[in-house]
Amino acid sequence: MDRLRQFLDDVKRRGLAPGNFLGLLNVLIGRRLALEDGTAISAGLSYREVAALLKRVRWEREASAELGVEPSSLAPRDRERYWYQAIVQAHVDSPRATAAGDAVAEQLRAAGYGVGPAPGAAGS
């Protein structure tokens, strides 16, 4: 989990998250992530694991609005449940999310990360 935390910190620092949150979720959940040298970061996470990670890194709750989810409809006090509900409602497995994930994957590759293809994509 430390590599994932470092990865998300780097994504924040580089400004890759704003406007790309759906794509970032798609990448975290459905794709392999690696450092430039090939060291594995993640082989894909469950919705619950991503929710726990977002809670741990104190991700801005306002990012849920990018997903088309009304923040006031989510669990206000339990941050992990908040993120889990947001992820479920965002349909991170939709064609729109996959396209957003492809765009984020290109930005991450340019930043030196290895990102695998979307599940079901040619070459996966």
Do the domain assignments include residue 73? Answer: yes
State yes or no: pLDDT of 73 exceeds 90: no
Please report the DSSP string for the chain in residue order: -HHHHHHHHHHHHHT-STT-HHHHHHHHHHS-EE-TTS-EEES---HHHHHHHHHHTT--GGGGGGGT--GGGS-SS-HHHHHHHHHHHHTTTSHHHHHHHHHHHHHHHHTT-EEPPPTTSTT-
At 1, the pLDDT band (50, 70, 90 cuts) reads: low
Domain assignment of residue 25, given as a range: 19-115
Do the domain assignments include residue 4? Answer: no
Across the chain, what does the average pLDDT equal? 92
At 70, the pLDDT band (50, 70, 90 cuts) reads: confident
Do the domain assignments include residue 10? Answer: no
Q: In total, how many domains does the chain have?
A: 1
Q: What integer is the mean pLDDT of 45-64?
A: 94
Do the domain assignments include residue 53? Answer: yes
